[in-house]
Every structure is written in C-alpha cells, then in structure tokens.
Chain A
Amino acid sequence: MLGVSTLGPVGPVGPGGPVASAAGPADERDAWAILASIDGLGPIAFAALLARYGSGRAVIEDATRPGAAIRLAATPSLDLRDEPPDRARRPVGDVMGRVIADAVQRGAHVLERLAEVGVRVVILDEPAYPVRLAKVAMPPHVLFVTGDAAALGRPRAVAVVGTRRPSTSGRTAAGRIATALVAVDAVVVSGLAHGIDGVAHETTVRAGGVTVAVIGSGHACVSPRSHQRLAEAIVRAGGAVVSELAPDVEPTRGTFPRRNRIISGLSQATVVVEAPARSGALITASWALEQGRECFLVPGPIDAPTAAGCLAFLREFGGAARIVAGVPQLIADLGLAGTRRGADAAPVPSDAVVAASLATLGRTEGTIAQALLEGLRTVDELVAATGHTVSAVLSTLALLERRGLVAGLHGRYRPDGALLGVARMPKPR
C-alpha cells in the first residue's frame, strides 16, 4: 500500500461534520464497483486513476480525505491517444474530482444497492473476467452481471444481432441461426432489443441453450421494459445479463452504441441478420472487425429496406466481412461444425429437440403447424387452408403458442422455437 492513510488528520474533523467513517470497501472489487458507478467516469479516467494510485482501494481512501477533489483532478494523463503531453486533456477535470469525492462518501449505498438488485461484479483484474473481452481496446473495467458469470467466458460464443423491426424471414433466419448455434454448444450473445435480438435470445432459451444479453442500461432499468421477463428467462436458463453500467443508470442515446463493443468483444464472431441503413447492428459489426473478430452478414433482396445496411456493409468491407450462405454453411464457416451432434445431422438444427417437441403434436396441431411453415399467417388463412373451424384453429394456436412453437404478434402467427428449425412437418404417424 502507498501508506497514504497514515497522513490524514487525526480524528473526525471537517467542515461538513464527521466524515462518514470510511469503513473502506472490503476488497478491491467493491472499490472498483463504487468507482464504476460514478456517472461520467469513463474507462480513460478510470485507467488514469488506477495508474496513479495503484489500486481502487487507494483511490477510495484518498478520496475520503479533505482536499480530495483537487488532488484527484491532478491525476496525470496516461497518454492513451498518443497526443503530446502539453495538449493531452486532463483525464479527471476539476468538476469530476469533486464528483468522485462526493460519490465515494456514498460508497456503502452503492454496494447495498448492488446486493439489493442481485447484481454481481466482475472486474478486469480477476480471472473470472471473460478473456476475450479483456483483449479488446478499452475493455470495461467492471462488468455488472446477473446470472451465471461463467457464461461470459465460454469458449464458443457468437453474437447474433440485427434490426428492431425485422421482416418475417429475418425472424426466421435469426431463429434458425440461434437454434443451430445451440446445437453446436455455442453461447448466443445479443443485445436484448426488440426484433432480431429478442428472437435470438428467445429461441436460444427455448432450445435449451445458453445466451448472454448485453444491455445498454443498468439492470434495474432494462430497456425495452417488455423484455424484463425475457431477461429473467435468460438468467433462469443458465445465461447471463451483463452491463458496464450501474443498476440505476437509465439508457440514453449514447449507451447503446457503447455496449455494442461489448457484444462483439464477448464473441468470437458477430452475425448481423437484418439491418437497414444506419442500423445499430452495423456498429456492432464494425466493432467486431476492429477487434479482429469475424463478422458475418445475412444478405437480402436489393430492394428490401431491411437488407440495405447489410448489403452496403458487405460492399464496403468486402474483404473482411463475410456473407452468410445458409445456416449449415455459417456453422462451418465459424469453424463450429462437426462438434457435438452437428457431425451426423445434415440440416444443423434438427433431430432430438425438434423431433421430441413435434412428435407429441396431434393431427390438428400438425396440420396447422404445417400451414404456418408454408407461410400462412392469419387465422383466416389458416381456416381456409386447413378446413378446421375457427374455434379449433384458435384453440390450437393458443396451445402451440404455449408450447413455444408459435409466436403471435398483432394477429399474425409464425413458427417459433423448434418449428424454426424444420422445413416441413414430419408425416404424422
């Protein structure tokens, strides 16, 4: 230790009454958690503070003593940006210094709150920190995690991201890719947004796989709110929800692009399913390339707005970005083929899981599932095609939906879960 603690004045003095007897953080992890919870303290300042004080605990201890704001603001730059020393901006400004000093006084509350929300902290210095993410430029110093933190560091992890407003074929593609990844034992990483992200997480959970959601807000303000239950389901299924932000940080415009670097950083490759021009998913793809990871994009028709971003990206980064030419091909390109049960099954997500869930379907369920696979979507279409009564179609759809084989939104129904993995129903026995 630097021994700074012996230099302080004796006894609790100070203009603001007794200083909250800094029953300093028990260990280094708590210290980092407190520092990472400070609004506006980014990775650069964090690194500079650590370099100067040697440890997070030392920063906290110094910050609780009088005059801390000025001392903190004097933290020298780490020169991360290769700027000449005289022009380098100070990493901790005067205001920030005061903010840190103030925030540290409330350190105990931060830790209490973490315990309350049930969030675990993983710091860059410990072995539990995911190795792949540690390798990228400016990794988050602290990860706030709910669920199994070990899921973050699994050897096989692929990000599946895309637009919030996918077409039906985009949803199907995302579902099939996720199912295929589960079949080869890979973790599916995504961003918990509506659309492709949601499909990727949901399908993985349903297929019994592990998935990691990287959120652009704190754990107590999951956005969109409607995905709160999805987040809980991910954790129940052995996955994790991770954020670099403290539990009560609300999402803003800037937080989502920033978290995208974590999505790509946690993954060996990133797959973009559908992206219109200027989609956030393309930012994730760019990060993947920058971090030296592989990047795949699902192509689409040249006149489809949902494919415009992918196509433009493929054209721009033709050498580095790769095209998804079918789900089995993708698995092969990722180098994941031939493992676990992928070896003997030609269409990747088939067999046991699918068969088990489809085998139990009755005749009515079978015909309706088949009609859905053929692209029919509304109740009217299903009634006309199958010849069942309206009430039979309705009760069957409710049943299929409950079993996770069908998803309905705004009165349109599409195959989901295990049904996503098959081209047509097996012949009823």
Chain B
Amino acid sequence: MSALGFWSVARRPKWIAVLVLVLVVAGIFAWLGRWQLERAVDDSRVVGPDTELAVPLGDLATPQHPIDSSMAWRRVEVDVAYVPGDTVLLSDRLNAGPERGWTVVAHAVTDTGASLAVALGWSADAAVAEAAQAALDDGVMNAALTTVTGRFMPSEGPQQSNFPDGQRSALSVGELINVWSTPPDGGVYGGYLALDAPPAWAAGLEAIDAPMPAREIEVNLLNIFYGIEWVIFSGVAVFLWWRLVRDEQLREQLRVQLREQDAAKSDT
C-alpha cells in the first residue's frame, strides 16, 4: 500500500489556493485584532484632571494651604506683579541636561495679594542669570501686573541647600520666605510657578524644564479581549485548512485501502 503523505495532498493547486485564501482571511483577522488594540488605547480615558489646560491659579490652590496631587504639575495662569530686590539665584541646578546652572526665582504678588515664587528660567551661564536678576531688581517690570502662564509645581524640600556658605540650590518656598526682604503679608502659595517661557526682558534664560506629568490611563479591556479573540480566530482559520487537507488525505487513503481489499478478494 502506498502511503499518501499530508504534503502530497497539501501541494495540490486546489489546496494551495485554499491556503492562500485562508492566509488572506487570517491576515484580515489579525488586522481586525490590531484595530481593536488601537481602539483600546484610543478609547482609553485619562484618569484625573487635564494637567495641560491652564486654569486660574486662584481657582486651583489657596495660599497658606498645602498642595495635593490634584493641584501639583498642572498648568495655571495668574496675574502677578514682581517684587524688586527679592530675586534669588539657585545654584547647582539641572535643567533637561547634564549641565548644572542657575535658576532665577522671583518673588511675585498675585492680583489677590498673595505671594508666589516664580521660577523665571535657567542658564548654565552665571552672568546671564545675574543679568536677569539685576534687571528685575532694578525695576524693569515697574510693579505692573502681568499675566503669566506656567506649571504649578510643589515646593522642594530644603535639605539640598547649604545655607552657611550662602549657597542655595533647593527651590523651597519655606526657605525663600526667609530670604525675601518684602514680607509675604498676603499669605504664600505652597508651590512655585515654573514659567512656560522666560519673560522677554530675560531672553537669555532657558525655559525651566517642567514636562507634562506621566498620566494614568484606563485602557478599554473589552477591546483588548476582542483583539485577542481575533488573533485566535486567525489561528483557527489556518487550523481549518490543515483539518480539511487532512480529511482529504484520510479519505483517499481509505479509498486506496478499499481498492486493495477488493483486489485481494477477487484474487482468491
């Protein structure tokens, strides 16, 4: 009896054509699975507030109150007047790179009278930072109210500073209050504002690196399950082709067997 192999059946033009068809169908299924996974991500909902929409600072935080996670790292806008003579240079600061430099922090008073620390910008060059400090302290803003936008950041801890040497490197609001010559009579915001861009009169400064916080998202689990389902279906499509070829092979083997049996019978 001649054994009829699986591949000798599978190699027939008919079954190759079926295989091509099956692979096309499996490809479509796989594409549908990919589409479902894309939808799972696209339909995902951001948990928590939209941190990128600038909101009035007064609506978000209250002076003399602690900052919680729903306020920190959100973009805000606020009308402020800078206080000359209270601008502080923080040394040894990193800003989106390996280089250490100076951060210029101004004392600003909002339109409601509360004090707010504003990080104007950063420079690797001490002269640039000092020029910005001098310009502000010389009254370049003339105590006029100006609208600023930036990211509201939580105050840093004071530990990084080396007070005895007159070096300050932590952007700690509590520490700054002690440095400011104008007392913050209207209360102080517990965080500081990192400006989106340095003011025009301090153009030599670079913007403070305050990126959008990592967002927590909820993916749509239903779409993920559908995605997995389509992958399984494309596997099933290929399996069905194998099953159909195997059936034909078995059927032919059976036919050959019967013919041989009949031949054996007529011989006797």
Q: Do A and B come from one complex?
A: no
Chain B residues engaging chain A, CB cutoff 8 angstroms:
none
